[in-house]
Amino acid sequence: MLIRCPWCGERDHAEYFYGGDATVKRPAENAGVQAWNDYVYLRDNPKGPHRELWQHQAGCREWLVVTRDTLTHDILGVEPVKGAAR
């Protein structure tokens, strides 16, 4: 699996650290147990396109939002985390 880092180019996924689902949003501190349970534990876990965080740990160390198909492992898009719609 190759991920094209916007700064370093196409690199093996082993250079990256996987940060999981990029769509979960940290709730306000007083949002209540249910909102926090959703954030910490519940995941859509889709079969198909998944927006997820990867850090180019063995490269530029930037965090990226990668859209990847979990059924085929095709990479559908890579964006810097800053500015990416989340």
Partner 1 sequence: MTRYSAFSLLRQTLRGHRGWDRAWRDPEPKRHYDVIIIGGGGHGLASAYYLAKLHGVRNVAVVEKGYLGSGNTGRNTTIVRSNYLIEPNAHFYEHSLKLWEGLSEDLNYNVMFSQRGVLNLAHSDGQMDAAARRGNAMRLNGIDAELLDREQVRVMVPHLDFSEHARFPIFGGLYQPRGGTARHDAVAWGFARGASALGVDIIQNCEVKGIKRQGNRVLGVETSRGFIGAGKIGMAVAGNSSHVAAMAGLKLPIESHVLQAFVTEGLKPWIDTVVTYGVGHFYISQSDKGGLVLGGDIDGYNSYAQKGNLALIEHCMAAGMQILPSLSRTRILRHWGGVMDMSMDGSPIIAKTPIDNFYINGGWCYGGFKATPGSGWVFAHTIAHDKPHPINAEFTLERFAEGRAIDEKGGGPTPNVH
- Going from the C-alpha of 54 to that of each of 2, 35, 59, 79, the distances in angstroms are 12, 24, 12, 10
Q: How far is CA 8 from the centre of its chain?
A: 18
CB of 40 to partner 1, least distance (A): 5
Which tokens belong to 13? 């996924």
Kindly write out the interface string for residues 48-67 of this chain, putting x where it contacts Zn ion by CB under 5 A and - elsewhere. --------x--xx-------
Question: Which residue lies nearer to partner 1 by CB, 6 or 20?
Answer: 20
Q: Give the nearer residue to Zn ion in terms of CB position, either 11 or 23.
A: 11
43 to 13, 15, 62, 78: CA distances (angstroms) = 22, 25, 24, 21
Q: Which residues in the 1-20 window bind Zn ion by CB under 5 A?
A: 5, 7-8
- Taking the least distance from each CB to Zn ion, the nearer of 61 and 86 is 61
